[in-house]
Every structure is written in structure tokens, then in C-alpha cells.
Amino acid sequence: MPNNSSALQTSAAINEAVQTLRDGGLVAFPTETVYGLGADARNASAIQKIFKAKGRPSNHPVIVHLAVPDKYDVAQIDWAALLSPWVRDLSEEALQIINAFWPGPLTLVFKRDKSVLNEITGGQDTVAIRAPNHPIAQELLRKFKGGVVAPSANRFGKVSPTSAADVRDEFENELDLMILDGGDCEVGIESTIIDLSSGERAVLLRPGAITPSEIFAKTGIKVYQAGEDVKADNDFPRVSGSLKAHYAPTTPLRLYAPGRVLDALSEYPDTKSRVAVVVWDSESSLVLEDHPSIDVQEMIVSSDSADFAAKLYRTLRDLDQQGWDLILFPEPPNGEEWDGVRDRLQRACFGSGPSSSSHVNN
């Protein structure tokens, strides 16, 4: 009965992880988006360990992850009761969005309860919360019986991990870290973040797999873009992944416009000779005879937005480890379903290159 034995092993590992969190330690665990580096959200010194391990600026807020109650036989989960230790002013609109999308890859920003630690909020009066939709994450959170903060389990500003092996690559020499292995992440990019803290309008702060039109279709609630006639940009809460340079490989990364690979190659003459060119599976092979001096290798990626997102960080990590002088990615097409990966790629380009750590710190 291999399945039962692996379930028992997982259960034992989760019990050990719960104890590690209670003891103030760190646990890396899978979610449907990326792997998180988790700590007890009520333990300030444990949270500080995350910031130290990642090299993350202390004013950069982290997301609190909560369990969905085990009993699905109730007509509706009492989210108001579950959120009351963390949040004040929970609106009807917020509950509508929560009931439609939690658990799932959606983070919501609220006015914080006074008991929420400053280490979580970056000193702001808001807190970001989500309920992840991954069986291991959910079992861990249910058994822990509390909130767990968990930014992505990687060095700050670098490519996020979508497998347990990625987490080991990031930290194996420096952290005595417990890692729960839940296979590859299904969604592959971080959660959508919606700000509900003003009590007036829902505002998109970070695009992801769940789009504003999907939220509107399921709830009738309009989600505004930041800067869409709402309030000055600097009035929005700071949230994870909102810095200009983020998700970045060490190899220089650039985007090329449709059909403009050759132009992109000529545009970066300083980049030696080995170039990895990522192309859509729907496009024919490149014609690169014009560049005989360049060693170019094509890598095919899916032109389906969800599939592309699921493999984006895996592709970036693999290419980054192969020693190319330049990585060229196609610009994602227009359309809301591509906004999440476009956001990640633009930040990755800005932060990429050997000096990326200095970009990230700016």
C-alpha cells in the first residue's frame, strides 16, 4: 500500500513542521502559487529570521496564510470569525470575494487589527491575508492552528521557487531548514493582490492568476487598477512583489516584440555570444543565419497563459543555471490573463544581470 505509507510519511512530516513553527523555526512549504518560507505569524523573532534568511528589507510586508476550516458540511464558512484576530472593518464586499475565491491564489489587504505585529505589515496599518489552496499547506495550517507568514522561499528579489529542489538550491548551505515537498506548484506565479483597506473600492495591487474580470463575473464587484482615478499611487499599501526589480535571474534578461528576435540580438551587442531565445510553441523556428557569430539556442514555451505561468520560474531558473550571456523572452500578448506573467517578466528584466543585487536594494 504505497499510497498509505506516503500519506503517513507526509502526515509525520507535517506534524514535525508544526512543532518547528511552534518552536520559532522556519518551514518551507508548497502552495499552489510558489513555495513559501513560513514562520509563526505571532512570533516576532521567528519572522525576523525570514527577513534575515532572504535578505529582505524589514519594511517590506509579508502575507499571513490562514487555514480553511476542515468541515465543509457547513453552508458557509464563518470567515468573519476566522479573520477577526487579524482584521478590522470586514465589509460585505470582502466576504463576497472571500466566499467566491478562498482557498485560492488571491491575497486581500485589510485594515489590520491592533494585535498584528509590525514585522508583518512593514509598519503600515494594513495586513495582507490569503488562504492557500494546496492540501499540504492547508493541513499544515489546520494542525498549526494559527496564522503563518510565508513570503517566497528564495533570496529577496530572485526567481521564486516552484519545487522543493529550488528551495534546497537557495538555502541548503546556510539554513537548517525543514522543507515539505509537495511537488511542482500548479499556478507558478504569486497570488493576485487586491486592496480592500480603503473600505470604498477594491484595487488591484499585483496581477496574478485570478483576474479583475473573473472577480466581477463571480461577485459583481468591480476591481479598479491602481491609479485608475482612485487616489495617488503613494497612498496604496506596500505589498509583496511590488518593487521595480524582482523575480530576477543573474543572467541579463530582455523581452522582444513579436517577430523582432533579430532586432533584439542586434540591440545588445555587448552580450558576448551565447544567447537563449525563448519562442512560442505556435511560432515557426527562428532564422538566425544573419548572426553566425552568435550561439543561439531556442527554447519552446506554451502560448497558453496558464501553462506559461506554471512553467515561467522553472524556465527562468533552468536558463539562469546554463551559463548564457543573454536570455530573450517574447513579450506576452495583450489581455488580462497575461497581466500576471507580464508583470513578473518586466520586474525580472529590470532586476536581471550580474549586478542584480544592487538593483534589488534600490
- Confidence at residue 359, expressed as pLDDT on a 0 to 100 scale: 40
Residue ranges per structural domain of the chain: 2-189, 253-361
- Confidence at residue 70, expressed as pLDDT on a 0 to 100 scale: 74
User: Residues 26, 177: contact at Cβ < 8 Å?
Assistant: yes
User: Residues 325, 274: contact at Cβ < 8 Å?
Assistant: yes
Question: What are the φ and ψ backbone dihedral angles of 157, each rounded to 5 degrees?
Answer: 85, -10
DSSP string across 73-113: TSSS--HHHHHTTTEE---HHHHHHHHHH-SSSEEEEEEEP
The fold of the 253-361 domain, in CATH, is: Rossmann fold (3.40.50)
- Confidence at residue 269, expressed as pLDDT on a 0 to 100 scale: 61
Type and span of the H or E element at 320? helix 305-320
Q: Across the chain, how many H-helices and E-strands are there?
A: 12, 15
Q: Which CATH number fits domain 2-189: 2.60.40.420, 3.50.50.60, 3.40.50.720, 3.90.870.10?
A: 3.90.870.10
pTM listed for this prediction: 0.91
- Confidence at residue 291, expressed as pLDDT on a 0 to 100 scale: 59
pLDDT tens digits in sequence order for the chain, 362 residues long: 345 666 777 889 999 999 999 999 999 999 999 999 999 999 999 999 999 999 999 899 999 999 988 765 566 788 999 999 999 989 999 999 999 999 999 999 999 999 999 999 999 999 999 999 999 999 999 999 999 999 999 998 899 999 999 999 999 877 779 999 999 999 999 999 999 998 889 999 999 999 999 999 999 999 999 877 555 545 788 777 767 778 889 999 999 998 888 787 777 665 567 889 999 988 766 655 555 567 888 899 999 999 999 999 999 999 999 989 999 999 999 999 999 999 999 999 988 887 644 344 33
ω into 332 cis (within 30 of 0): no
3-state secondary structure 1-29: CHHHHHHHHHHHHHHHHHHHHHCCCCEEE
- Confidence at residue 84, expressed as pLDDT on a 0 to 100 scale: 95
- Confidence at residue 1, expressed as pLDDT on a 0 to 100 scale: 39
- Name every residue whose Cβ is closer than 8 Å to that of residue 63 and which is 6 or more positions away in sequence: 107, 128, 129, 130, 149, 150, 151, 191, 240
- Name every residue whose Cβ is closer than 8 Å to that of residue 198 and which is 6 or more positions away in sequence: 231
Cα–Cα distances in Å, from 93 out to 55, 90, 128? 36, 8, 16
